Amino acid sequence: MKENFVILQQKELKMGLGEAITRLNLLHSKKGRGIASEEEKTEHSLILDALNEIKIDLGFDCNDDGVPDTVEIFSKSAATGCCRLLPSTQTSGRRKTSSRR
């Protein structure tokens, strides 16, 4: 009895983070001006999906309640200046926030 196996190969494309952001900005600008082709709109979506695979630890707790704040803190902080990023003293490169009261 002959068995058939399908081997799926995962293809990877490496792109620098800066290059991806630069390309995304260009495509976003073209979309905003209404001059992006369908291929460029698709490319925009693909790059955005790829970038969203990268997760960053934000760790906001601006009101010191012990519960991490949500991503809405960016809007609130921009409007009120309630929080800011401070350099972390940890060697991991993570950043922490401090509340300005």
Pairing of strands 96-99, 83-86: antiparallel
Name the average pLDDT for the chain: 75
Paired tokens of 13: 């494309």
Helix (H, G, I), strand (E, B) or coil at 70: coil
How high is the pLDDT of residue 97?
43
Paired tokens of 12: 């990877």
Per residue in 32-79, pLDDT (tens digit) is 999 999 999 999 999 999 999 998 766 666 666 766 667 677 777 777
Q: How many angstroms separate the first and last alpha carbons of the chain?
A: 75
